[in-house]
Amino acid sequence: MNLLLTKVKKCKMGTITINMTCPRCNEDRCNNEHNYKTGEYYHQCIYCGYHKSFRYERDDKGHFIKKDPLKEYSLDNFVGKEFEVKEPFGSYKYLFKDGNSYHATIADKAAYDSRLTDFKTMEKDDIASFSISRLIDGKIQVTTIYEAESKDA
**Site for Zn ion, rule CB under 5 A:** 22, 24-25, 45, 47-48, 50
Comparison of 45 and 95: residue with beta carbon closer to Zn ion: 45
First CA to last CA across the chain, in angstroms? 31
Comparison of 47 and 94: residue with beta carbon closer to Zn ion: 47
Distance CA 85, CA 23 (A): 12
Min dist CB 140 to Zn ion, Å, is 8
Comparison of 29 and 58: residue with beta carbon closer to Zn ion: 29
Comparison of 64 and 88: residue with beta carbon closer to Zn ion: 88
- Residue ranges with strand state E in 30-149: 30-35, 41-45, 51-56, 80-85, 90-96, 101-106, 127-136, 139-147
Min dist CB 25 to Zn ion, Å, is 3
Q: Half-sphere exposure (CA, 13 Å, Cβ side) for 113?
A: 3
Min dist CB 104 to Zn ion, Å, is 13
Are 32 and 25 in contact, with CB atoms under 8 Å apart? no
Min dist CB 33 to Zn ion, Å, is 16
Sign of CA dihedral 1, 17, 36, 23: positive
